[in-house]
Chain A
Amino acid sequence: MIKKALKTLKRAPVRAVAVLLFAAVISMIICALQASNEAELRNYEEVWQSVPITVTVTDPTGKNDGDLLISPWVLSLFTDDTPVKFYDDSAEKKYSDPVEELSLAAYLKDVQSMMYTPISTINGTNYTSAAGTTMLYGISSLPCDKQLLPENGCEITWYEGYDESIFAGEELLCIVPEGMVERYDNGGEADLYFSGRSNIPFIHRDENGEFLWVDGELVVEFPKVEYNCSLKIVGTYTAGDEKSIYCPYPVIDKVYDELRKNKIIRVLSATLSDNSRLDEFREKASYCFLEPSPNAKKTAWGVSVDYGTLPYITEKNYSYALDIDDNNLFDLSAILEDSIKFNRTVTVFVVILSVISGFLVGFLMVRRRKRDIMLMRMVGESNARVYAGFALEQMICIILGIVIGGAYYKWNPINNLAIFAFAYFIALSLALAIFMSKELIKNIKEDE
């Protein structure tokens, strides 16, 4: 039966080639659309994974200008795999068993934080800038303090071999205001010796690490502890108030340890490590963070024991909000989703069109052969065999067309259709030349 079908196709090559080309073109279009759809989806997934979603701890109104007082447990929440314990501080349950244990570290990467402490002396002498007390800032990256960003007029001059990556490390390095270098002119690469003092309340804990209570009151001490720190200058910056020295965050962390001072973080932000877990992260974060709202009131934090015992926070009467900056992602996603939607609509349209045109071509092909069908039935061919014969002929053309169309698409981009058109015109010219070179009388006889 296949032999018979091939013979018939060979004897009516124009018809066979027409069906074949039709199938090839349709399959090329469908291939192109499918590839475009897949590329869009890949693009969408890539965007979902690659566009960074930053989360920043803010006050309830969504602001953080570096003056926020962020409790250490928030940093632990961001960086420690050990969950932070939350307590109910209602009168009857105060400091009883934790009501929730939570860690967000698994969802976050590139945690950026900033902390500072006042400086009393530099290189052994009291140092006070015109703007007031000089501060030693520990930052994880430049954006931790907006003052250091070029868009705010700041220009950083790095000494040879150094750049902003120093803030990702923990070496004893720093950058200082340009004016300060002039004042401590010692070749530009000198160490600065800082010292500072703390009279910040220190809350005593017992051997189990629990808060120490005596006669119903917390044991709080106000020690005056001094620290000493030697940092190498590796760059200078302009602009700003000229009273800040910036070092890597771990350096200031150690200074705080030396001072036995409760750490108050000023800036805390991070990047989501897996964007696909955004909803999960948002749900977990909602337990201890508000959603930023411009009209929000600053309310007292009432869940964490640590919080309640930190006087700075109590005075300021803060609670925290978490600004999850997914606008870029959702803007880009919306554009891509629109594009995917459009592609899908076009695909559906093309598929419907191909179904209709396939039906019409099939119908027309059979219509042109209705005489053959009649003859076959007339000599006693069964309907099933008539159907099978015709279906086989058409399927050979269609499958071959699909294979050729698919192969053409794979090996030649769709924009190479110009080659296709060129070949068509060559063939057309050749055919015309052959037929027109024949004697007219021969043409007429052939037509008869």
Chain B
Amino acid sequence: MSISLNNVSYSYKGKYQTVRAVDGVSYDFEPGKCYAIIGKSGSGKTTLLSLMAGLDVPTEGEVIIDGKSTKNWNRNRLRRDAVSVIYQNYNLFPLLTVQENIMYPLDLKKMSKKKAAELAIKMRERVELSPAYDKRLPAHLSGGEQQRVAIARTLAQGCKIILADEPTGNLDSTNTANIVKILCSLAHDDGCTVIIVTHDPAVAEQADAVLQMKDGAWI
């Protein structure tokens, strides 16, 4: 599944002025590759990621996913079937166990409980977590473990476009290396389009391509 940016701009009204967070960005991301978008804080990376995730639509231009503008996608379907996002703060359901968190998107896809549980175990094994984690709540996991669960959930969701917003921001170097390795393997082994927003050069180094942003545009 491909994702393209076609002269994408995004403005919003701030308290005192209109802010142009993304300014005329174009790019074609290829499936099977891992991309890193780097830039300083406030450069528009996260806004661009949100537009790609279909959380909002560009004020100008288009984000085209699988040949169709995000304006024409059913937003829920886009987030359920096409694009999944991994965040710095993991975003796991605090009241669901590890297994239930991984199974959540499968429930939305109306998969049977038994099948969903089997798939959740596979995905948990893929991110190298032992079965002892299945019944634990996110509050009882370390940051690295939580991020692995978030990735396992993304894997279970089966989306072919994976966006990660500072996925290693709260992790130590060992965990960072492990998470990036997993993300890159999703691109290389599973054919996903993986786009990582980061300010960590060590993460960017692992990517197949690095895009740099400044003031909402590529440089």
Given A378-B79, A380-B77, A380-B81, check contact A11 B91 (CB 8 Å): no
Q: Are A378 and B91 in contact (CB under 8 A)?
A: yes
B108 part of interface (Cβ distance < 8 Å):
yes
Q: Is B85 among interface residues, defined by CB-CB distance under 8 A?
A: yes
A7 to B101, CA, bound (A): 13
Output the residue of B85, B94, B153 with the most chain A CB within 10 A: B94
> Which of A7, A372, A377, A379 has most B Cβ within 10 Å?
A379
Could you say which interface size class chain B belongs to?
Answer: 20 to 34
Who on chain A is nearest to B55 by CB? A378
How far, in angstroms, from A371 to B77 measured CA to CA in the complex?
20
Inter-chain contact B91/A375, CB cutoff 8 Å: yes
Bound Cα distance A379, B92 (Å): 11
Tell me whether chain A's interface is mostly helix, strand or loop, or mixed: helix
CA of A337 to CA of B79 in the docked complex: distance in angstroms? 62
Are B137 and A380 touching (Cβ within 8 A)?
no
Residues of A within 8 A of B105 (CB): 379-380
B133 on interface, CB distance cutoff 8 Å:
no
Whether A380 contacts B93 by the Cβ 8 Å rule is no
Cβ-neighbour of B95 out of A11, A374, A380, A382 (below 8 A): A11
Chain A residues with CB under 8 Å of B78's CB are: 380
Query: A8 interface residue, CB < 8 Å from B?
Result: yes
- How near does chain B come to A379, taking the closest CB pair, in angstroms? 5
Query: Quick one: closest B residue to A374, CB to CB?
Result: B91
Q: In this complex, what residue of B is CB-closest to A8?
A: B95
**B108, A380: Cβ atoms under 8 Å?**
yes
Which residues on A sit within 8 Å (CB–CB) of B55? Answer: 378
Chain B binding site: helix, strand, loop or mixed by DSSP? helix
- A12 CB-CB contact with B under 8 Å: yes
**A380 contacts B85, C-beta separation under 8 Å:** no
B18 interfacial by beta-carbon distance below 8 Å: no
Residue of B78, B79, B93, B95 with highest tally of chain A CB at under 10 A: B95
Candidates A11, A377, A378, A379; contact of B137 at CB < 8 Å: A11
Q: How many angstroms between the C-alpha atoms of A7 and B92 in the bound complex? A: 16
Whole-angstrom CA separation of A11 from B95 in the bound complex: 6
Closest to B104 in A: A379
- Nearest CB in chain B: distance from A17 CB, A: 15
Asked whether any CB of chain A lies closer than 8 Å to the CB of B130, the reply is no
A381 to B157, CA, bound (A): 12
Closest to A9 in B: B95
Our pick among A372, A377, A382, A383 for the contact of B93 (Cβ within 8 Å) is: A372
Decide: A375 near B93, CB < 8 A? Known: A380-B76, A380-B77, A381-B76: yes
B214 within 8 A of A: no
Segment 59-100 of B: residues with Cβ below 8 Å from A? 76-81, 84-85, 91-95
CB-CB nearest in chain B for A383: B76
Q: How far is the CA of A379 from the CA of B76 in the complex (A)?
A: 8
Binding site for B on A (CB under 8 A): 7-8, 11-12, 371-372, 374-375, 377-383
> What are 6 residue pairs bridging A and B, where the CB atoms are less than 8 Å apart in the complex?
A8-B95, A371-B91, A372-B95, A378-B79, A379-B84, A380-B78
Which residues of chain B have a CB within 8 Å of any CB of chain A?
55, 76-81, 84-85, 91-95, 104-105, 108, 137, 153, 157
